[in-house]
Structure 1
Amino acid sequence: MNDEEPTDAELLAAHVAGDPDAFARLFTRHRDRLWAVALRTMGNPHDAADGLQDGLISAYRRAESFRGDAAVTTWLHRVVVNACLDRIRAAKVRRTEALPDDLDEPGGRGSVRTATGDREDPEQAAIADDRRRALLAALATLPAEQRAALVLVDMEGYAVAEVAVMLDCAEGTVKSRCARGRERLARLLRDRLAATGPPGDPAHPEPDAAATRPIPVPPKPTPTSSNAGEGGAP
């Protein structure tokens, strides 16, 4: 008797063969990662849920088209990301609102923890949260294709070659989108943090009062009677 868990490919094949539970098991296995990608790509939970649903319906119906030339997870991400991009293009609006606090989904490669697992200092945690919000708000303003590439490569940690399969484009295109996206993000973050850097932020220290005070100009010496008699000003 084989008690091993079926592979992703086996579950997908079982779904195609008519197993009513196979696709649900496959989705449950990768739910957290797919949700994180949809959320970062769409920019808010409502649209992310719609994009993820569109992608899963598409994957459910198109499972027979899976050729096995890539990992099942790669194929699932490709279907979900394309569904999200289709929604963004259809809406023709750029979302600029900050993303919610639940982005660090369990199992996501983008999760950030302290090395010891201890609570962070409240002040440092607030600064880190402000920076993260600034990053995600800036990310939401990027063109959809750049955003998707950055989410998959920089935030989810996928290899460029794998992302190229997900986005159905050349590896050079992925690299180009990431490079342009990073450049634009850096510019946006510089402008945003320069204007709204939190007090006490080492990157944006408050100017010292003495350093900003005008340098006093010493008064001109007043001639005395003694030096007036020695050729001084009358």
Structure 2
Amino acid sequence: MPVVDLRSDPQLLAAHRSGERGAFDELVRRHGDRLWSVAYRTLRDPEDAADVLQEALEAAYRRAAAFRGESAVSTWLHRIVVNKCVDRVRHDRARPPSARRLTAARTEREPIALDPAERATERLAVVDALHQLPVEQRMAIVLVDVEGYPVAEAAAILEVPVGTVKSRCARGRVRLAALLGHLREEA
């Protein structure tokens, strides 16, 4: 059984800053799954998500001394991932369509449904609709509605006021409802 490090996130970051090997690894173990989930749900491609997460963790590792402690360590890590995701989305939009990847791997675990084919089709429609939203609305919805972060924490991660997160979520939900209206009609 692995040994659990009981130090707080700020203590681990301080240990990393002072050169302790493995302290940053523990932070990644604690927060890596949620960081990965945000990157994957934002980018929809496991390779892109892995690349962005790698870039974000490298940046956090190198810039640990610049962390001012004005937010939680997990919020700081999420903010770096969000920034890298936004950079990737903007970069991909700037590339010509022929240069973009046409694959969209969808490998998340599905909840058990009565009709798996229908459930998969519905899920793909939701994922596609989510990716038609502007990146700012998509990030807010992924953090609040998909990942379950409280609005205040999502605001800290996105470095915007709480009201901005609320309005981005509201506008995004309206767009999603319009894009997914056909699912209600079929039900």
Matches within 5 A, 1:103-182: 104=109, 120-121=113-114, 123=115, 125-182=116-173
Paired residues, number? 179
Deviation of the 1:65 alpha carbon: 1.9
- Residues 58-94 of structure 1 deviation map (CA, whole Å, 9 limit, x = unaligned): 1111111222222211111111111110111122269
Q: Per chain length, whose mean CA-contact separation is higher, i.e. which structure has more relative contact order (CA < 8 Å, sep 6+)? A: 2
Q: Percent identity?
A: 51
TM-score by length of 2: 0.85
Matches within 5 A, 1:18-97: 18-92=19-93
TM-score by length of 1: 0.69
Deviation of the 1:120 alpha carbon: 4.2
SS of 1:101's partner is coil
SS of 1:55's partner is helix
Structure 1 stretch displaced more, 149-158 or 67-76? 67-76
- Residues 149-204 of structure 1 deviation map (CA, whole Å, 9 limit, x = unaligned): 0000000111111111101111111111111111111111124x48xxxxxxxx52
Matched, 1:189 2:180: yes
Say if 2:56 and 2:81, in contact at 8 Å, map to a contact too.
yes
Of 204, 208, 227, which residue of structure 1 is paired with 2:186? 204
Gaps (5+ residues) in structure 1?
Answer: 105-111, 114-118, 195-202, 206-234
Gaps (5+ residues) in structure 2?
Answer: none
SS of 1:165's partner is helix
Q: Provide the rounded CA distance (Å) in 1 between the counterparts of 2:130 and 2:31.
A: 24
- Residues 12-49 of structure 1 deviation map (CA, whole Å, 9 limit, x = unaligned): 11111111211112102211111111001112112111
Deviation of the 1:99 alpha carbon: 5.2
More helix by share: 2
Deviation of the 1:129 alpha carbon: 2.3
- Residues 1:159 and 1:88: Cα distance change in structure 2 (over 3 Å): same
Q: Provide the rounded CA distance (Å) in 2 between the counterparts of 1:76 and 1:127.
A: 36
Over 4 Å off, 4+ runs: 93-99
Q: Provide the rounded CA distance (Å) in 1 between the counterparts of 2:86 and 2:103.
A: 17
Structure possessing the higher radius of gyration over alpha carbons? 1
- Residues 1:155 and 1:99: Cα distance change in structure 2 (over 3 Å): farther
Tell me which residue corresponds to 2:14: 13
Tell me which residue corresponds to 2:107: 101
